[in-house]
Amino acid sequence: MTTKYIFVTGGVMSGIGKGVTTASIAKLLQFRDFNVSIMKIDPYLNIDPGTLNPVEHGECFITEEVWTFDPLHGDQHKIMQPVKIAELDQDFGTYERFLGQFINPSHNITSGQIYFSVIYKERAGKFLGKTVQLIPHCTDEVIHRMVDTATNENLDVLLIECGGTVGDLESTMFLEAFRQFRLQLPKKDTLLVHVTLVPYLKTVGQLKSKPTQHSVRALQSMGLQPDVMVCRSEIPLTSSVRQKISLFSNVPENAVISSPDLPTIYRLPLKFEEQKLGDYICDLLDVKPKLVKYDPIRNYSEWKKMVELYTSAKDSITIAMPGKYIEIPDSYVSINEALTHACAHERVKLNINWVDTEKEAKVELKGCDGILLTPGFGSRGVEGMIECAEYALEHKIPYLGICFGAQLFYIAFCRKILGLKGAHTTEIDPNTPYPVVDFLEGQKSLMETGGTMRLGAYDIYVDPSTKLFQAYKKEIIRERFRHRFHIMEKFLNDNPKSKELKISGRDETGKIVNAIELVDEDHWMIGTQFHAEFKSRPYAPSPLYHAFIKAVKKNRSIQ
């Protein structure tokens, strides 16, 4: 069948759940056995979000594959070095978790990539004789990227989410590309979903539709008419509000979809199905649902059963998460979700205690059931994070250190158990007497360059005698990485107390330490250089995170 395109825009303000909405709509189509995927447009000028602060932009999601961004496609007149990309917007984590499939980094389009491509093509003589302009050259580049993705992956439906909010100046190019593309294709081949906010005013006890009306008018002023309105609100839409939104946005009443706050985001596709959104989209796109064979990922009934796990827990556990970016939970969204997945499958409710490591961190750890030391970069709050690892060592609290958290676990062990006073990472203290964490080979000269860390998925060789092996039940696993520093094994070689720590995972050369753990039958304490959270799924928790939650339960004597 001809590829269909669904465009998703946002109105009123950012952060209202466009990513979850887009993933949920894709899930509706997956329930009907269509081959779907998602692209995300980010209007900022960065080539990728790898150098952005998580507090400002949220988590940086790492993909399985590394994509080579090469605007000139290997042309011999190349005047730039291709850029390696595996660092994407956090919404890609949502897409992968909902759809259960890996998404290539080429699915993330930024303004920087588009301008970069057009300018370098102009310099390479690709537009000789033409005045290069925003329209049509930049908008053509956007359309070309979308069509390329749909064609190369043989997709039935491609969803494209436009980041930001309608009315933002930087989104103009992409909305114009949508308008042009919809004009080029038959009406039944494209569909526009507008996600907007309908605030609930508690003082008067009413939902207010006026912000949505203004948002739709801004969209219409750019030549785009929505086909579906998805309205985010604290409570379900009333029939009167639905009627008003229908009237002022020029869409049928049954295309005004209520998206209220829910106990878990994984319930949203079910909420959409209750309102027959999937059937309505199929009618507009003129496609017939296919017969879905049994599949725990693509089957509606299986998804419904899975969602019930997320609201049926009776016991609860508290995980302390010391970190550098705790101002917004989105800084660690994949970790939060991986913990939630594991807890749901272990029938316990998750409580997260965010610990500011620039303050008295140890006080906040009292009463916690487990500690997860988070990833990060830079010196801010590091000593507090090391103290948290030392606290876990002293009090035999189940502990999981991710990336930076693994390196700081190693530093804590070297200081406290091996007696290496002043041991540190050269990232923080280049003059440390014991550089127990140092640069990967070839990384020192690349510190100021984006997209140059060890990125993407690599094979990990697991020691069969370890807790890590007990978690995965495999000697070779494949997980994702994002680092340029690593643990220096040589500091374990000559100290008899080093036998209290075991290297449980290495790379295929044996030179890079990928995981460490404490050798203590009664204390589950593991640090991994890899990010297992990126491959955790709501229906299939990460084996590492699942093992961590099981250890917490065992320590708490929860059945």
322 vs 61, 356, 408, CA distance in Å?
Answer: 20, 6, 12
Helix intervals (H) in 250-299: 268-274, 277-285
Length of the chain (residues): 559
194 included as an active-site residue: no
Strands 476-483 and 454-462, sheet pairing: antiparallel
387 vs 321, 351, 368, CA distance in Å?
Answer: 13, 22, 15
Two tokens, residue 137: 């050259």
Peptide bond into 136 cis (omega under 30): yes
In angstroms, rounded to a whole number, what is the distance separating the alpha carbons of residues 390 and 383? 10
Catalytic residue selected from 59, 337, 517, 533:
533
| Contact between 323 and 355 (Cβ < 8 Å) | yes
- Nearest CA-CA partner of 460 in 473, 478, 474: 478
Task: Supply the DSSP string of 388-412, one letter for each residue.
Answer: HHHHHHHHT--EEEETHHHHHHHHH
Catalytic residue selected from 60, 343, 368, 403:
403
In angstroms, how far is CA 341 from the centroid of its own chain? Answer: 14
162 included as an active-site residue: no
Gyration radius (Cα) of the chain, Å: 25
What is the CA angle 493-497-503, rounded to 5?
55
In angstroms, rounded to a whole number, what is the distance separating the alpha carbons of residues 277 and 230? 10
For residues 505, 506, 510, 513, the Cα torsion angle rounded to the nearest 10 degrees is: -100
Place of tokens 């041991």: 423
- Nearest CA-CA partner of 300 in 82, 495, 555, 31: 31
DSSP character for 537? B
19 vs 222, 260, 305, 341, 479, CA distance in Å?
Answer: 22, 15, 23, 19, 24
Catalytic residue selected from 107, 137, 486, 531:
531
In angstroms, rounded to a whole number, what is the distance separating the alpha carbons of residues 15 and 547? 32
Q: Which residues are catalytic?
A: 403, 531, 533
